[in-house]
Amino acid sequence: QSFARAYVGLASQKMFQGVKNSPAAKETEELLRKAFALDENSADAYAVQGFIRIFHYRDWTGAEKSLKNALALDANNINAHHWLAVFYSIQRRLDEAKTEMQTALEL
């Protein structure tokens, strides 16, 4: 599991560098595959996956699913709450966005 966290850490750094089908996006996905292979219950990996699905692929259904998986595994995952708030705001689900952002701020 400790190596899974390392792969997630690397992926979280790479995720800001790429867009769909860029080398950085592909590398981020590969790092996540390695993380999930080592720990299929990594809330942090699901949170990063949610971010990628929002900003790299505009995969709204997949993004929400990944972020909710992260929160099911770790209800105190700040990044998952933050990115779910961003997701909700993009979807114009503003009451839900406010609730998620408030939770992230409290954590």
| pLDDT per position as a tens digit, 29-78 | 899 999 999 999 999 999 999 999 999 889 999 999 999 999 999 999 99
Question: Rounded distance, CA 56 to CA 40, Å?
Answer: 22
pLDDT at 27: 87
- Angle at 106 (CA atoms; ends 4, 31), nearest 5 degrees: 15
pLDDT at 23: 77
pLDDT at 17: 79
- Angle at 72 (CA atoms; ends 69, 77), nearest 5 degrees: 90
Instruction: Give the rounded percent of residues in the chain with a pLDDT score beyond 90.
Output: 74
pLDDT at 13: 85
Tokens of 43: 């809330």
Q: Answer whether residue 88 shows pLDDT above 70.
A: yes
pLDDT at 1: 54
Question: Rounded distance, CA 34 to CA 95, Å?
Answer: 36
Q: Are 5 and 44 in contact (CB under 8 A)?
A: yes
